């Protein structure tokens, strides 16, 4: 930006120089320079075996996972949903068309399923246990 400011200083018309300098100052205020962490839509993870129920964030299986809906009501295998991006948009889907999704940072432990159990013959003896969980 220093090179641009040098060029602005070379402008002979005082009013024009002032106007351009003010506009550049406005741009610099609203623009981030250097290392920039851009805002982006968080990634989502589909939880295929999770039950579609009221309050869940869902997406259409055949659509984009980032186009999410909130389930308002489920009755007779039909889910009334409200679009998260525009709450004025409501649509009814078959439960089979939807998948529960979780965003990065959302808890997924309710969707974990135990795979197996380990028991020790002698409860007083020391032992090691391997705990493994899988998304259901």
CB 70 within 8 A of CB 55: yes
pLDDT at 112 exceeding the cut of 70: no
pLDDT per residue as tens digits for the range 117-132? 666 677 777 766 666 6
- Mean predicted confidence (pLDDT) in 37-41: 59
User: For every residue of the chain, which 3-state class applies, written as one string?
Assistant: CHHHHHHHHCCCCHHHHHHHHHHHHHHHHHCCCCCCCCCCCCCEEEECCCCCCCCCEEEECCCCCCCEEEEEEEECCEEEEEECCCCCCEEEEEHHHEEEEEECCCCCHHHEEECCCCCCCCCCCCCCCCCCEEEC
Name which residue leads in pLDDT, 8 or 31: 8
Q: Among the ranges 22-26, 55-59, 102-106, 115-119, which has the highest mean pLDDT value?
A: 55-59
Please state which CATH number belongs to domain 44-105. 2.30.30.30
- Mean predicted confidence (pLDDT) in 37-63: 83
Q: Which pLDDT belongs to residue 124?
A: 74
pLDDT at 18 exceeding the cut of 70: yes
pTM for the whole structure? 0.53
CB 56 within 8 A of CB 68: no
- Mean predicted confidence (pLDDT) in 93-106: 90
Q: Which pLDDT belongs to residue 56?
A: 94
User: Which residues does 131 contact at the CB level (< 8 Å), separation at least 6?
Assistant: none
């Amino acid at each position: 930006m220093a090179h641009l400011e040098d060029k602005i200083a070379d402008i002979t018309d005082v009013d024009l120089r002032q106007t351009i300098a003010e506009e550049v100052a406005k741009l610099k205020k609203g623009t981030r320079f250097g290392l920039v962490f851009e805002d982006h839509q968080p990634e989502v993870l589909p939880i295929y075996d999770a039950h579609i129920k009221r309050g869940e964030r869902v997406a259409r299986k055949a659509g984009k996972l980032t186009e999410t809906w909130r389930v308002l009501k489920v009755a007779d295998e039909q889910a009334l949903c409200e679009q998260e991006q525009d709450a004025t948009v409501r649509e009814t889907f078959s439960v089979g068309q939807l998948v529960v999704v979780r965003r990065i940072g959302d808890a997924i432990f309710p969707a974990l399923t135990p795979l197996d159990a380990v028991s020790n013959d002698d409860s007083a003896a020391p032992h090691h246990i391997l705990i493994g969980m899988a998304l259901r």
